Amino acid sequence: MKTLIVAFGGNALIKKGQKGTAEEQLENLKKPLGSIADLLKNHKLIITHGNGPQVGNILLQQTSNTEVPQMPLDICVAQSQGQIGYMIEHALDQVLTDRGIGDDHLFLTVLSYVHVSSTDPAFQNPSKPIGPAYPENKSKEFGYPMKKTAKGWRRVVPSPLPEKIYQRREIKKLLEDNFIIITCGGGGIPVTKENGKIKGIEAVIDKDLASAKLGEHVKANILLMVTDVEGAAINFGKDNQKFLKEIKLVDLKKYQSEGQFADGSMGPKVQAAINFLESGGEKAIICNINKIGEATLGTSGTQITK
């Protein structure tokens, strides 16, 4: 049995142009989870996922009501892990039951905190936009850093590097017992330590980098990053754009050093693939959400090996 980590991008839950109702999100999950159910015969499985739109909605719900106290970002991330974990479990239950194997697999969502260094340089440069967009005059009312984006003025938070997942030992035990584990949602709840005690912080960790770190902790064999394009491309968006198929780590690093993979989107996926392979993983794959089965067989997506 190989251990497979599937990292779902935002489009697994909400497609472009959708509002993101509960019904839409549950329906969207069925197809990719169906493909994943087919992999359970020969894989132990961990599912990780993004939370951008969901945590954005939680923040909007908070700011549109002044009667209840606002929660800090780490608690909002925890909330999003709960709601998305439940939706993934719900859809998983449906696809497994449809296949007549509803009683064969146990699954569990694990709330996860991820340690980041309080001296991470990201804290000097909050760069990750989160939550709703506001007009410029309104943006001055908030007590946190805001940045102008294509959508309007948005809150920005630091995006520090994941150093350690606190629940790694629990996750390992669950894997040994063949649980399907849903964890590291939204990159995990960012925490640092103060006087030896954990302390939640207002930041967002990249979910692909967190998934690679988890892979290192549990000695996963394969990291499958599922997104809305066919894989990693060179000359992305240009006439001579070319999606990479099978590629060795050294060649991928060469393209990375040329700046072929955009920060905040394909960049972290490529970096996660590199980190995963350099820390003992066998294979990293970046693939389209509709081609999960083919990608695990090696016939679709960007297949990266040492």
Q: Does 56 bind ligand ADP (CB under 6 A)?
A: no
- The smaller minimum CB distance to ligand ADP, of residues 35 and 192, is found at 35
Nearer to ligand ADP, 180 or 233 (CB): 233
Q: Is 84 in the site for ligand ADP (CB under 6 A)?
A: no
Q: Around 220, how many Cα atoms within 13 Å sit in the side-chain half-sphere?
A: 30
Helix, coil or strand: residue 159: coil
Residue with tokens 């302390």: 199
Distances (CA, A) of 67 to 57, 64, 212: 17, 9, 40
Binding mask 231-250 for ligand ADP (x = CB under 6 A): -xx--x--------------
Q: Kindly state the smallest distance separating residue 227's Cβ from ligand ADP, in Å.
A: 3
Single out the segment in contact with ligand ADP by CB under 6 A; choices: 85-93, 133-141, 162-170, 255-263.
255-263
- The answer to the question of residue 229 lying near ligand ADP (CB under 6 A) is yes
User: Taking the complex as a whole, how short is the minimal distance between the CB of residue 289 and ligand ADP, in angstroms?
Assistant: 8
Query: CA torsion angle for 297, 176, 26, 85 (degrees, to 10)?
Result: -130
The token duo for 262 is: 């955009």
Regarding 260 and contact with ligand ADP (CB under 6 A), the answer is: yes
The token duo for 266 is: 């394909």
Q: Please count the residues of the chain.
A: 306
Is there binding between residue 50 and ligand ADP (CB under 6 A)?
yes
Minimum distance from residue 250 beta carbon to ligand ADP (Å): 18
Amino acid letter for position 200: G
CB 262 within 8 A of CB 208: no
Q: Residue numbers of the site for ligand ADP (CB under 6 A)?
A: 9-10, 50, 227-229, 232-233, 236, 260-262, 265-266
